[in-house]
Amino acid sequence: MVKMYLNEFDDLISLNSDSIILLTFLRWQYRNLEFYLSNDTHRKLGWTRRRFVKARNVLIERGHMVMVEPPRNAPMICQLMAAA
């Protein structure tokens, strides 16, 4: 089971509903661990790359996910913030 709190839902739904789907997917996959996140993740979701990047950026901008290490010669390393 993946938790989604009402305040998170309210925060994201008006900005980008895809970010809710992405947040749920990432919590299901990675929980609170650090993980590599590449732009190719869009394929797992059946999305375009542009759609994925937009949803990912909303999660970072709104503080639901942090970039631990920026992409260099490998995908970025991210971590989800604890649900509040």
Q: Confidence band (pLDDT; 50, 70, 90) for 84?
A: low
Give yes or no for residue 60 having a pLDDT over 90: yes
Distance of alpha carbon 62 from alpha carbon 81, whole angstroms: 11
Q: Could you tell me the residue range of the domain that residue 12 belongs to?
A: 6-80
For residues 21-44, average pLDDT: 91
What is the number of domains present in the chain? 1
* Cβ atoms 17, 55 nearer than 8 A: no
Whether 45 shows a pLDDT value over 80: the answer reads: yes
Judged against a pLDDT cut of 80, whether residue 28 lies above it is answered with yes
Q: What is the pLDDT of residue 33?
A: 84
Residue 45 CA to residue 47 CA, distance in Å, equals 5
**Amino acid identity of 43?**
R
The rounded distance, in Å, linking the Cα atoms of 7 and 64 is 11
Is residue 1 included in any domain, yes or no?
A: no
Percentage with pLDDT > 90 across the chain: 57
